[in-house]
Protein backbone atom coordinates (compact mmCIF):
# COMPACT_ATOMS: atom_id res chain seq x y z
CA UNK A 1 0.00 0.00 0.00
CA UNK A 2 1.34 3.38 -0.96
CA UNK A 3 2.57 5.63 1.85
CA UNK A 4 2.40 9.41 1.84
CA UNK A 5 5.49 11.37 2.88
CA UNK A 6 4.29 14.69 4.28
CA UNK A 7 6.20 17.71 5.55
CA UNK A 8 7.00 16.88 9.19
CA UNK A 9 7.20 19.35 12.08
CA UNK A 10 10.96 19.56 12.68
CA UNK A 11 11.01 22.38 15.24
CA UNK A 12 8.59 23.76 17.77
CA UNK A 13 8.10 27.00 15.83
CA UNK A 14 8.14 25.57 12.31
CA UNK A 15 5.16 26.41 10.07
CA UNK A 16 6.62 25.39 6.72
CA UNK A 17 9.84 23.96 5.35
CA UNK A 18 11.84 24.60 2.20
CA UNK A 19 13.17 21.60 0.31
CA UNK A 20 16.91 22.23 0.38
CA UNK A 21 17.84 18.97 -1.33
CA UNK A 22 16.31 15.70 -2.46
CA UNK A 23 18.58 12.72 -1.83
CA UNK A 24 16.41 10.41 -3.96
CA UNK A 25 14.75 10.38 -7.35
CA UNK A 26 11.54 8.79 -8.56
CA UNK A 27 12.14 5.07 -9.00
CA UNK A 28 14.76 4.79 -6.25
CA UNK A 29 14.40 2.03 -3.68
CA UNK A 30 14.38 3.19 -0.05
CA UNK A 31 14.39 1.48 3.29
CA UNK A 32 13.09 2.55 6.66
CA UNK A 33 15.57 4.98 8.18
CA UNK A 34 16.83 6.36 4.87
CA UNK A 35 17.27 10.13 4.67
CA UNK A 36 15.38 11.15 1.55
CA UNK A 37 15.57 14.94 1.82
CA UNK A 38 17.06 17.92 3.63
CA UNK A 39 14.62 20.61 4.70
CA UNK A 40 15.43 24.17 5.65
CA UNK A 41 13.41 25.13 8.70
CA UNK A 42 13.23 28.39 10.63
CA UNK A 43 16.18 27.27 12.76
CA UNK A 44 18.36 24.81 10.88
CA UNK A 45 18.60 22.44 7.95
CA UNK A 46 17.07 19.16 9.08
CA UNK A 47 16.96 15.68 7.57
CA UNK A 48 13.71 13.96 6.57
CA UNK A 49 13.68 10.25 7.30
CA UNK A 50 11.28 7.64 5.92
CA UNK A 51 9.83 4.91 8.06
CA UNK A 52 8.73 2.47 5.34
CA UNK A 53 10.45 0.39 2.71
CA UNK A 54 9.48 0.79 -0.93
CA UNK A 55 10.02 2.68 -4.16
CA UNK A 56 9.83 6.42 -4.58
CA UNK A 57 6.77 6.53 -6.85
CA UNK A 58 6.33 10.27 -6.99
CA UNK A 59 8.05 13.45 -5.84
CA UNK A 60 5.55 16.30 -5.77
CA UNK A 61 7.67 19.31 -4.83
CA UNK A 62 10.90 20.67 -6.23
CA UNK A 63 14.04 21.79 -4.46
CA UNK A 64 13.57 25.36 -3.30
CA UNK A 65 9.80 24.97 -2.83
CA UNK A 66 8.25 26.05 0.48
CA UNK A 67 5.96 23.30 1.77
CA UNK A 68 3.46 23.85 4.62
CA UNK A 69 3.35 21.39 7.50
CA UNK A 70 1.46 18.22 6.55
CA UNK A 71 1.50 18.84 2.81
CA UNK A 72 2.33 15.87 0.62
CA UNK A 73 5.96 15.80 -0.51
CA UNK A 74 6.37 12.33 -1.99
CA UNK A 75 4.73 8.92 -2.28
CA UNK A 76 6.37 5.58 -1.50
CA UNK A 77 4.94 2.21 -2.55
CA UNK A 78 5.44 -0.85 -4.66
CA UNK A 79 6.79 -0.33 -8.15
CA UNK A 80 3.92 0.03 -10.63
CA UNK A 81 1.35 0.65 -7.90
CA UNK A 82 -1.59 2.86 -8.85
CA UNK A 83 -1.41 6.07 -6.81
CA UNK A 84 -3.80 8.10 -8.93
CA UNK A 85 -6.18 8.52 -5.99
CA UNK A 86 -3.43 10.01 -3.84
CA UNK A 87 -2.33 12.32 -6.61
CA UNK A 88 -5.89 13.44 -7.30
CA UNK A 89 -6.40 14.09 -3.62
CA UNK A 90 -3.20 16.10 -3.50
CA UNK A 91 -4.18 18.00 -6.60
CA UNK A 92 -7.56 18.84 -5.18
CA UNK A 93 -5.86 21.39 -3.35
CA UNK A 94 -7.61 21.78 -6.78
CA UNK A 95 -9.10 24.97 -5.66
CA UNK A 96 -5.60 26.18 -5.23
CA UNK A 97 -4.80 25.22 -8.80
CA UNK A 98 -7.95 26.91 -10.01
CA UNK A 99 -7.36 29.96 -7.90
CA UNK A 100 -3.78 30.09 -9.05
CA UNK A 101 -5.00 29.93 -12.65
CA UNK A 102 -7.53 32.60 -11.89
CA UNK A 103 -4.79 34.53 -10.26
CA UNK A 104 -2.69 34.22 -13.35
CA UNK A 105 -5.60 35.43 -15.43
CA UNK A 106 -6.18 38.26 -13.02
CA UNK A 107 -2.52 39.06 -13.08
CA UNK A 108 -2.48 38.85 -16.84
CA UNK A 109 -5.54 41.03 -17.00
CA UNK A 110 -3.99 43.50 -14.61
CA UNK A 111 -0.81 43.42 -16.63
CA UNK A 112 -2.77 44.10 -19.79
CA UNK A 113 -4.56 46.93 -18.08
CA UNK A 114 -1.29 48.29 -16.76
CA UNK A 115 0.31 48.08 -20.18
CA UNK A 116 -2.72 49.76 -21.64
CA UNK A 117 -2.53 52.45 -19.00
CA UNK A 118 1.19 52.84 -19.54
CA UNK A 119 0.73 53.11 -23.27
CA UNK A 120 -1.98 55.70 -22.83
CA UNK A 121 0.22 57.63 -20.49
CA UNK A 122 3.10 57.50 -22.91
CA UNK A 123 0.87 58.73 -25.71
CA UNK A 124 -0.47 61.49 -23.52
CA UNK A 125 3.04 62.50 -22.58
CA UNK A 126 4.16 62.36 -26.19
CA UNK A 127 1.21 64.47 -27.22
CA UNK A 128 1.91 66.91 -24.44
CA UNK A 129 5.50 67.23 -25.56
CA UNK A 130 4.55 67.79 -29.19
CA UNK A 131 1.87 70.33 -28.43
CA UNK A 132 3.88 71.67 -25.57
CA UNK A 133 2.37 75.12 -25.24
CA UNK A 134 0.95 74.18 -21.88
CA UNK A 135 3.72 71.75 -20.98
CA UNK A 136 6.78 72.39 -18.90
CA UNK A 137 9.11 72.28 -21.89
CA UNK A 138 8.42 74.75 -24.68
CA UNK A 139 10.40 74.64 -27.89
CA UNK A 140 9.85 75.42 -31.51
CA UNK A 141 9.74 72.48 -33.95
CA UNK A 142 12.94 73.73 -35.60
CA UNK A 143 14.69 73.96 -32.22
CA UNK A 144 13.58 70.43 -31.39
CA UNK A 145 14.89 69.11 -34.69
CA UNK A 146 18.20 70.89 -34.31
CA UNK A 147 18.57 69.68 -30.73
CA UNK A 148 17.90 66.12 -31.80
CA UNK A 149 20.45 66.32 -34.61
CA UNK A 150 23.10 67.73 -32.29
CA UNK A 151 22.30 65.39 -29.41
CA UNK A 152 21.35 68.24 -27.12
CA UNK A 153 18.98 67.59 -24.25
CA UNK A 154 16.35 70.29 -24.44
CA UNK A 155 15.92 70.41 -20.68
CA UNK A 156 19.54 71.68 -20.45
CA UNK A 157 18.81 74.62 -22.78
CA UNK A 158 17.58 77.95 -21.50
CA UNK A 159 14.90 79.39 -23.77
CA UNK A 160 15.02 83.04 -24.86
CA UNK A 161 11.73 83.08 -26.75
CA UNK A 162 8.32 84.19 -25.50
CA UNK A 163 7.53 82.66 -22.10
CA UNK A 164 10.90 80.90 -22.11
CA UNK A 165 10.28 79.07 -25.38
CA UNK A 166 13.42 77.47 -26.83
CA UNK A 167 14.07 78.73 -30.31
CA UNK A 168 16.68 78.27 -33.02
CA UNK A 169 19.25 80.72 -31.67
CA UNK A 170 19.16 79.02 -28.26
CA UNK A 171 20.25 75.77 -29.86
CA UNK A 172 22.87 77.50 -31.99
CA UNK A 173 24.37 79.28 -29.00
CA UNK A 174 24.07 76.41 -26.62
CA UNK A 175 27.28 75.28 -25.01
CA UNK A 176 27.34 72.27 -22.77
CA UNK A 177 28.39 72.72 -19.17
CA UNK A 178 32.15 72.80 -18.60
CA UNK A 179 31.77 69.90 -16.20
CA UNK A 180 29.75 67.20 -17.92
CA UNK A 181 27.38 65.20 -15.77
CA UNK A 182 28.81 61.96 -14.58
CA UNK A 183 27.74 59.03 -16.70
CA UNK A 184 25.41 56.68 -14.90
CA UNK A 185 24.69 53.08 -15.61
CA UNK A 186 21.36 51.55 -14.82
CA UNK A 187 21.67 48.12 -13.25
CA UNK A 188 18.98 45.52 -12.85
CA UNK A 189 17.42 44.95 -9.44
CA UNK A 190 18.00 41.55 -7.88
CA UNK A 191 15.46 39.55 -5.94
CA UNK A 192 16.53 37.09 -3.26
CA UNK A 193 14.28 34.44 -1.80
CA UNK A 194 13.66 35.04 1.88
CA UNK A 195 14.91 31.97 3.74
CA UNK A 196 12.99 30.37 6.58
CA UNK A 197 15.68 31.61 8.96
CA UNK A 198 15.44 35.18 7.70
CA UNK A 199 11.63 35.07 8.05
CA UNK A 200 12.00 33.90 11.65
CA UNK A 201 14.60 36.57 12.44
CA UNK A 202 12.35 39.23 10.96
CA UNK A 203 9.29 38.06 12.86
CA UNK A 204 10.94 37.50 16.25
CA UNK A 205 13.02 40.66 16.33
CA UNK A 206 10.15 42.80 15.04
CA UNK A 207 7.98 41.44 17.83
CA UNK A 208 10.75 42.12 20.33
CA UNK A 209 11.49 45.65 19.16
CA UNK A 210 7.84 46.71 18.86
CA UNK A 211 6.43 44.91 21.90
CA UNK A 212 9.26 45.05 24.45
CA UNK A 213 10.01 48.53 25.79
CA UNK A 214 13.78 48.71 25.27
CA UNK A 215 16.13 51.07 27.06
CA UNK A 216 19.90 51.21 26.79
CA UNK A 217 22.83 51.86 29.12
CA UNK A 218 26.50 52.01 28.10
CA UNK A 219 29.62 51.70 30.23
CA UNK A 220 33.33 51.92 29.42
CA UNK A 221 35.58 49.21 30.84
CA UNK A 222 39.35 49.18 31.39
CA UNK A 223 40.38 46.01 29.54
CA UNK A 224 44.11 46.11 30.35
CA UNK A 225 43.71 43.59 33.20
CA UNK A 226 41.78 41.20 30.91
CA UNK A 227 44.39 41.77 28.20
CA UNK A 228 47.18 40.74 30.58
CA UNK A 229 45.26 37.81 32.09
CA UNK A 230 44.33 36.40 28.68
CA UNK A 231 47.94 36.56 27.56
CA UNK A 232 49.07 34.58 30.59
CA UNK A 233 46.30 31.99 30.17
CA UNK A 234 46.97 31.43 26.49
CA UNK A 235 50.73 31.04 27.09
CA UNK A 236 50.03 28.09 29.38
CA UNK A 237 46.97 26.53 27.77
CA UNK A 238 46.47 24.52 24.58
CA UNK A 239 42.92 25.86 24.31
CA UNK A 240 43.11 29.52 23.37
CA UNK A 241 40.73 31.86 25.14
CA UNK A 242 39.16 34.78 23.32
CA UNK A 243 38.13 38.10 24.81
CA UNK A 244 34.53 37.16 24.09
CA UNK A 245 34.92 33.98 26.15
CA UNK A 246 36.00 36.11 29.10
CA UNK A 247 33.10 38.54 28.60
CA UNK A 248 30.65 35.61 28.49
CA UNK A 249 32.12 34.18 31.67
CA UNK A 250 31.97 37.57 33.40
CA UNK A 251 28.35 38.02 32.33
CA UNK A 252 27.44 34.62 33.73
CA UNK A 253 29.09 35.45 37.05
CA UNK A 254 27.38 38.86 37.16
CA UNK A 255 24.00 37.30 36.33
CA UNK A 256 24.36 35.05 39.35
CA UNK A 257 24.68 38.17 41.47
CA UNK A 258 21.79 39.95 39.69
CA UNK A 259 19.06 37.34 39.10
CA UNK A 260 16.53 39.98 38.02
CA UNK A 261 18.57 40.41 34.82
CA UNK A 262 18.38 36.65 34.29
CA UNK A 263 14.59 36.72 33.92
CA UNK A 264 11.76 36.56 31.38
CA UNK A 265 8.39 38.28 30.98
CA UNK A 266 5.38 35.96 30.86
CA UNK A 267 2.40 38.30 30.87
CA UNK A 268 1.09 38.06 34.41
CA UNK A 269 4.35 36.85 35.92
CA UNK A 270 8.11 37.33 35.69
CA UNK A 271 10.17 34.15 35.71
CA UNK A 272 13.53 34.46 37.44
CA UNK A 273 15.55 31.62 35.94
CA UNK A 274 17.49 29.28 38.17
CA UNK A 275 19.98 28.37 35.46
CA UNK A 276 22.28 30.87 33.79
CA UNK A 277 22.28 30.00 30.08
CA UNK A 278 24.14 32.56 27.98
CA UNK A 279 23.46 32.65 24.24
CA UNK A 280 26.21 33.88 21.92
CA UNK A 281 25.19 35.60 18.70
CA UNK A 282 26.86 34.04 15.66
CA UNK A 283 26.61 35.66 12.23
CA UNK A 284 26.21 33.26 9.32
CA UNK A 285 25.40 33.84 5.67
CA UNK A 286 21.64 33.46 6.14
CA UNK A 287 21.43 35.65 9.24
CA UNK A 288 22.07 35.56 12.94
CA UNK A 289 21.74 32.53 15.20
CA UNK A 290 22.16 32.33 18.95
CA UNK A 291 23.46 28.97 20.18
CA UNK A 292 23.25 28.55 23.93
CA UNK A 293 25.93 27.63 26.47
CA UNK A 294 23.93 25.97 29.21
CA UNK A 295 24.91 26.53 32.86
CA UNK A 296 27.51 29.05 31.74
CA UNK A 297 28.22 30.20 35.30
CA UNK A 298 29.32 26.69 36.26
CA UNK A 299 31.84 26.30 33.44
CA UNK A 300 35.45 27.37 33.21
CA UNK A 301 36.92 29.63 30.55
CA UNK A 302 38.39 26.75 28.58
CA UNK A 303 35.10 24.88 28.49
CA UNK A 304 33.19 28.02 27.49
CA UNK A 305 35.73 28.73 24.76
CA UNK A 306 35.67 25.21 23.35
CA UNK A 307 31.88 24.97 23.49
CA UNK A 308 31.48 28.36 21.81
CA UNK A 309 33.76 27.38 18.95
CA UNK A 310 31.99 24.03 18.47
CA UNK A 311 28.57 25.68 18.41
CA UNK A 312 29.74 28.44 16.07
CA UNK A 313 31.15 25.87 13.67
CA UNK A 314 27.88 23.95 13.65
CA UNK A 315 26.00 27.21 13.12
CA UNK A 316 28.05 28.05 10.04
CA UNK A 317 27.41 24.55 8.69
CA UNK A 318 23.68 24.90 9.47
CA UNK A 319 23.99 21.80 11.65
CA UNK A 320 22.75 23.28 14.92
CA UNK A 321 19.91 21.33 16.42
CA UNK A 322 16.86 23.21 17.76
CA UNK A 323 17.67 22.25 21.35
CA UNK A 324 21.09 23.93 20.98
CA UNK A 325 19.36 27.26 20.33
CA UNK A 326 16.71 27.05 23.02
CA UNK A 327 16.62 27.91 26.71
CA UNK A 328 18.78 31.02 26.76
CA UNK A 329 18.36 33.43 29.68
CA UNK A 330 20.75 36.16 28.47
CA UNK A 331 22.51 36.97 25.20
CA UNK A 332 25.91 38.41 24.27
CA UNK A 333 26.41 39.99 20.84
CA UNK A 334 29.97 41.02 19.95
CA UNK A 335 30.87 43.14 16.91
CA UNK A 336 34.27 44.16 18.25
CA UNK A 337 36.05 42.01 15.67
CA UNK A 338 34.64 44.35 12.99
CA UNK A 339 36.02 47.43 14.73
CA UNK A 340 32.59 48.58 15.93
CA UNK A 341 33.16 50.72 19.03
CA UNK A 342 29.62 50.54 20.41
CA UNK A 343 26.12 49.63 19.28
CA UNK A 344 22.70 48.71 20.61
CA UNK A 345 21.19 45.27 20.14
CA UNK A 346 17.57 44.09 20.00
CA UNK A 347 16.63 41.83 22.90
CA UNK A 348 16.53 38.14 22.03
CA UNK A 349 13.14 37.03 23.40
CA UNK A 350 12.28 35.79 25.96
CA UNK A 351 15.46 37.23 27.53
CA UNK A 352 15.18 40.39 29.61
CA UNK A 353 18.50 41.80 28.38
CA UNK A 354 21.19 41.54 25.74
CA UNK A 355 24.75 42.86 25.97
CA UNK A 356 26.28 44.52 22.90
CA UNK A 357 30.08 44.34 23.03
CA UNK A 358 32.31 46.74 21.12
CA UNK A 359 35.97 46.64 20.15
CA UNK A 360 38.88 47.10 22.55
CA UNK A 361 40.42 50.44 21.59
CA UNK A 362 43.75 51.96 22.57
CA UNK A 363 42.97 55.40 23.93
CA UNK A 364 44.75 58.03 26.03
CA UNK A 365 43.59 57.88 29.66
CA UNK A 366 44.44 59.85 32.78
CA UNK A 367 46.04 57.89 35.61
CA UNK A 368 47.56 59.56 38.68
CA UNK A 369 47.38 62.91 36.94
CA UNK A 370 49.24 61.74 33.82
CA UNK A 371 48.00 60.89 30.35
CA UNK A 372 48.97 57.30 29.54
CA UNK A 373 47.89 54.76 26.90
CA UNK A 374 44.99 52.56 27.94
CA UNK A 375 42.72 49.85 26.55
CA UNK A 376 39.01 50.56 26.78
CA UNK A 377 35.94 48.65 25.68
CA UNK A 378 32.36 49.90 25.63
CA UNK A 379 29.43 47.61 26.28
CA UNK A 380 25.74 48.52 25.97
CA UNK A 381 23.00 46.68 27.80
CA UNK A 382 19.56 46.61 26.15
CA UNK A 383 16.90 45.92 28.77
CA UNK A 384 13.19 45.14 28.75
CA UNK A 385 11.71 47.86 30.96
CA UNK A 386 8.82 45.60 31.95
CA UNK A 387 11.32 43.50 33.88
CA UNK A 388 14.40 45.61 34.49
CA UNK A 389 14.61 49.19 35.74
CA UNK A 390 17.43 51.58 35.01
CA UNK A 391 19.05 51.15 38.43
CA UNK A 392 19.00 47.34 38.10
CA UNK A 393 20.69 47.51 34.72
CA UNK A 394 23.26 49.99 36.04
CA UNK A 395 24.11 47.74 38.99
CA UNK A 396 24.56 44.76 36.69
CA UNK A 397 26.88 46.74 34.43
CA UNK A 398 28.81 47.96 37.45
CA UNK A 399 29.36 44.37 38.61
CA UNK A 400 30.36 43.32 35.09
CA UNK A 401 32.87 46.18 34.93
CA UNK A 402 34.35 45.21 38.30
CA UNK A 403 34.78 41.60 37.18
CA UNK A 404 36.48 42.49 33.92
CA UNK A 405 38.74 45.06 35.58
CA UNK A 406 39.60 42.51 38.29
CA UNK A 407 39.31 39.11 36.55
CA UNK A 408 39.95 37.20 39.76
CA UNK A 409 36.57 38.51 40.98
CA UNK A 410 34.92 36.03 38.61
CA UNK A 411 36.21 33.24 40.82
CA UNK A 412 34.47 34.57 43.93
- Taking Cα atoms as reference points, which of 3, 13, 8, 6 lies closest to residue 200? 13
What string of DSSP letters covers 308-365?
HHHHHHHHHTT---GGGGS--SEEEEE-GGGT---------TT-SEEEEEEEEEEEEE
Please, which residues have CB within 8 angstroms of residue 300's CB and are 6 or more apart in sequence?
249
Q: What is the pLDDT of residue 20?
A: 84
What confidence tens digit (pLDDT) does each residue in 331-364 have? 999 999 999 999 999 999 999 999 999 999 999 9
What confidence tens digit (pLDDT) does each residue in 96-145 have? 444 444 444 444 444 444 444 444 444 434 444 444 445 567 888 788 88
Query: Catalytic one among 258, 266, 273, 385?
Result: 385
> Is 258 annotated in the active site?
no
d(CA 123, CA 185): 26
Q: What is the pLDDT of residue 122?
A: 43
φ/ψ region of 21 (left if φ > 0, alpha if ψ in -120 to 50, else beta) reads beta
d(CA 269, CA 278): 22
What string of DSSP letters covers 64-77?
T-EEETT-EEEEEE
> Which portions of the chain are predicted below pLDDT 70?
12, 43, 93-136, 178-181, 411-412
What confidence tens digit (pLDDT) does each residue in 240-271 have? 899 999 999 999 999 999 999 999 999 899 99
Q: What is the pLDDT of residue 229?
A: 93
Q: What is the pLDDT of residue 333?
A: 97
Q: pTM for the complete prediction? A: 0.65
d(CA 336, CA 339): 5
Amino acid sequence: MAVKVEMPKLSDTMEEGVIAKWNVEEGDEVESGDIIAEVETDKATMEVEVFDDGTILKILVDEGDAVPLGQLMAVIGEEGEDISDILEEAASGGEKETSETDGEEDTSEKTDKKESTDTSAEKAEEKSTVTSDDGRLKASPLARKMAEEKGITLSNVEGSGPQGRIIKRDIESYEPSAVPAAATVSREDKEHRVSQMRKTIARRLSESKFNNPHFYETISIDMQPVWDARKQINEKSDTKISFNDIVVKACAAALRKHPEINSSWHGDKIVEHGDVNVAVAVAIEEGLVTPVINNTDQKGLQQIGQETRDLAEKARERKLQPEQMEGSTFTVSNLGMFGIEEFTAIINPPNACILAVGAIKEVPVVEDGEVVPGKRMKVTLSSDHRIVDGAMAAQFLSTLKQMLESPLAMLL
